[in-house]
Structure 1
């Protein structure tokens, strides 16, 4: 069974956090399910329309892409054991073909701590919105990853910079399951599903 969707309200805010002295840069990877992914699980004949894929990310960090009912959910990095939440928009949606990784470098060690991924989300009257989803990357030791914030890209010329600021200031200290994601420029409703399949 696919996860049962639980709607949660997100506070609308322009997050402003403390500055950091760390050296941070961006790297980019492609996401092409037909080329970069392997199928982990797929729906049976009488089990709806869903599939789980594992895809290549940045330098060995996986990207877990799940789809169900014309909606997507993505986990970036190393996931916790067992089922993970199915985080998605209430409306039909799809993910873009490129992922931006925010990477902190300390000496010879580089660690991706956040991703910025452009999604296309359906709306009323066949209108579509583009939203930048900022997510915390699951690490091998902590395995905690989730959506940190949403930035509406449609009609927002500074959306990319806003998403980077949000990632840099909030992702590393964000407590998944406790802290509330930030919305900038009022994105469409986002859902966080429980575990299990529907």
Structure 2
């Protein structure tokens, strides 16, 4: 007999005392709810996990790429004195990027869906040398929510050979409480994978340069 059928039989007993006795017997059945359950009498308990019901898995982290190429971005303003520009480039999930090009150095701001702007200040936390950006940005998403941003920053750090550049990957966390650069990945083997690992763990990382 199942727990539900047993409880139905208990409810048909001629007296309250007999109902109580019968209900106690039902609680010893294999499919009876655990002690303290709030299930109403006669309701079978839900199947245990591992017997047809799986725990909801956390969404996997994936990459989405957006363009930083000039042809895909819109120039918002040009600075008359320096000739520098600020351009708005597409993002993902309601975010956008502002690309700053000034004094032969480049950086990015993240614009969130609520219109707030978060400067990443590459020229302060990645390199102070002349720099340029890679052609695209990599967003790390958990489900549909961005959790981090990866952008390549090419730095001319050798004054004697300015054509030779060092290629860094700038990793920034994108969280409801803060958006900032957390890691600078040097040009090492498997740098892209290292940047992704850093991005996926960035939420708990401090902003680069804090405490200095």
- Could you state the TM-score of these two structures normalised by the residue count of structure 2? 0.61
Unmatched segments (≥5 aa) in structure 1: 1-20, 182-198
Q: Which has the higher strand share?
A: 1
Matched, 1:102 2:140: yes
Between the aligned partners of 1:87 and 1:63, the Cα distance in structure 2 is 13
- The yes-or-no answer on 1:167 pairing with 2:199 is yes
- What does the per-residue CA deviation read over 1:136-177, in whole Å, with 9 as the maximum and x for residues that have no partner? 2365xx5x3221110012xx112111111111112x234558
Runs of 4+ in 1 over 3 A off after TM superposition: 83-87, 173-181
More helix by share: 2
Instruction: Between the two structures, name the one with larger relative contact order (CA 8 Å, sep ≥ 6).
Output: 1
- In the superposition, the TM-score normalised over structure 1's length comes to 0.65
Write the mapping of 1:101-180 to structure 2, written as runs, cut at 5 A.
101-105=139-143, 110-124=144-158, 125-126=160-161, 127-137=164-174, 142=177, 144-153=178-187, 156-170=188-202, 172-174=203-205, 176=207, 179=210
RMSD of aligned alpha carbons: 2.6
User: Based on CA coordinates, which of the two structures has the bigger radius of gyration?
Assistant: 2
Asked if the contact 2:73–2:90 (Cα under 8 Å) also holds between the matched residues in 1, the reply is yes
| Residue in structure 1 matched with residue 19 of structure 2 by the alignment | none
Alpha-carbon distance, 1:84 to partner: 4.3
Which runs of 5 or more structure 2 residues have no equivalent in the other structure?
1-57
1:137 match: secondary structure? strand
